[in-house]
Structure 1
C-alpha cells in the first residue's frame, strides 16, 4: 500500500462524511497525521481539483473534479447500465420508486434510482450509502453471497438507524436464511420511519451476486397484506430478467455456492 495515496483517500472520505468543510488541524487530528503532511496532501488534491479551499474560512471541501469521476463510475458500471430499462419497467408496474444497489464494504451504494411514476416531488438517491443490515437491497445481497462475504457482514457491528433496525447477529443470520428461501428481502422501517422496501439479488455471468434491485416506498403500500406478495413477485421477476441480461446462468441460484455453509 502506498501511504501517501492511502492518506489522500482518507482525506477525501473525511471531507465527504465529516461536514461541508474541514480545516487542516481537524483533518490532522482525525487522520493522526502531522499538519504539514496533511497540508501538502491538500495542496496536491487542490491542484487536481479534487478539493477546494473556502476563501473566508480557509477550510477545505470536496472539489468539482470528483463529479466526472463519479459519473464515469456510474456510466461504466454494467449493472447500472443494464438495469435502466428494467428499473423503469418495474417502477411502472409497481407504481413505486426503484433502487439498484451494489455492496461496498458494509454499505449498499445506490447506483440507479427510477422515480415513482406519479406522486409528490422526489429526491434522487443515486450515490446514497446505506448500512447493509437496514435495507432490503443489502439483505438480498448478503443472503445470496458466498459464505466469506456473508460471515464478514454478520461479524461486523450492525448499524442502527431506527428502533426497527435489526441488531442481533443471530436473528440477522436466521433472517438471511428466510430471505434466501423466499428469493426476496423486505425492510420494514429499518432505515427510515414510515418507509419500506422489497428487493431481490441480481447475478452476473459468473453466477455471483452483482447487486440487487428493489422497490422503496411507504410501508402501508409495500407491506400491506394485499400488496406485498404481488410486489414481491414483480421484484423477483425483474431481478431474474436483469440477471439474464447480465449473462447469469439460466437457472438463477436459489441456493448458496458450492462450499458455503449456512450461518
Structure 2
C-alpha cells in the first residue's frame, strides 16, 4: 500500500482512539510523522469530512464522513452472507453438524447449517424454530443479553418437556446461563433432542449485543471429553472471528502495520506510539 495511504489510515485510527481528539503536535509525536508532512495530510482529511478541527482547542477528531462509511457497511451487512463461510470452516474442521441461528422472540431460527449424511441432517432444517431456553443455540444468546431482555424472556417462559431430560426449572436454567457467561459456551445435553449434545457460542455485533449463535451437535453416546473440549475451543475461535468481522471489540491496528522500513526520516512508529499511550 502507498505510504501516504498508510499514513492516512494511521492518523484516523490514532485520532479515533483519543477520547477528546488530538492536537497536531500529539499526532506528530505519537506517530512519528514530520509536522510539515502531517499538516498536508490533516488538511486533505478535513476537506471531505473524515476529520474535523476545533479551532478553539486545536484538537482534531473524527468527522461526519466516517458515519457515511459506517452506515454503508452496516446497511450491506448480512449475517447469513458474512457468517456462512465461518460455519463452513468450522464444519470442515470438526465434521459434525454445525448451524447458525438468530433470535426471534422467544425462539431462535436456523439460518445456516452444514452436515454430513446422518440422522442429524434431518433434525434441524433451514428456517426451523428452536426454543430459546431449551436449546444450546438459544441459551448462548440469552446468556449475554442485558438483564431487561432476559427478564422478559423469563417472564414468558412456559416449560415444555421435549425429552425426559428437558430442564423445566427456571432457576436451574438461570444457573446454567451464569455458567455460559463464564465459559462462553452453552452446553445442553439431551434436553431438546434425545441422543444429542448441543454446544453453542454467541456472535456479537459492533454494539456488543448477541445477534446470533453458532452451534454444534454431537452424539451423546460418544464419551470423549477431550474431543468435546477441542470442539469447544474451535467453536469459540469461530464465533470470536465472526464477531470481529461484524465489528465487535474493534481496536486500532498495531503500529507495526504502518511501519515502513524504507522511511529513514521518521522515528520508529511502534516506539513512538507506545510512548504516546504510556
Compute the TM-score of the two structures, normalised by the length of structure 2: 0.59
* 1:134-213 correspondence runs (5 A): 134-155=134-155, 156-213=157-214
Rg bigger for which structure?
Answer: 2
TM-aligned CA deviation for residue 148 of structure 1: 1.3
| Residue deviations 1:65-102 (CA, integer Å, cap 9, x gap) | xxxxxxxxxxx872211111110110111110111011
- Verify the 8 A CA contact 1:134 1:160 in the aligned structure 2: no
TM-aligned CA deviation for residue 159 of structure 1: 3.0
TM-aligned CA deviation for residue 119 of structure 1: 5.0
Partner SS for 1:154: helix
1:110 and 2:110 aligned: yes
C-alpha distance in structure 2 between counterparts of 1:162 and 1:152, whole Å: 25
- Verify the 8 A CA contact 2:97 2:121 in the aligned structure 1: no
Consecutive unaligned residues of structure 2, counting only runs of 5 or more, are 1-75, 252-278
C-alpha distance in structure 2 between counterparts of 1:188 and 1:219, whole Å: 7
Aligned residue pairs total 174
Partner SS for 1:133: coil
C-alpha distance in structure 2 between counterparts of 1:204 and 1:239, whole Å: 11
Q: Which runs of 4+ in 1 moved over 4 A?
A: 118-121
C-alpha distance in structure 2 between counterparts of 1:80 and 1:189, whole Å: 27
Partner SS for 2:175: helix
Consecutive unaligned residues of structure 1, counting only runs of 5 or more, are 1-75, 252-263
Q: Which has the higher contact order (CA 8 A, sep 6+)?
A: 2
Compute the TM-score of the two structures, normalised by the length of structure 1: 0.62
Describe the shift of the 1:210–1:136 C-alpha distance in structure 2 as closer, same or farther (beyond 3 A). Answer: same
TM-aligned CA deviation for residue 122 of structure 1: 2.9
- Verify the 8 A CA contact 2:95 2:115 in the aligned structure 1: no
C-alpha distance in structure 2 between counterparts of 1:138 and 1:210, whole Å: 11
Partner SS for 1:214: strand
Describe the shift of the 1:121–1:235 C-alpha distance in structure 2 as closer, same or farther (beyond 3 A). Answer: closer
- Verify the 8 A CA contact 1:133 1:165 in the aligned structure 2: no
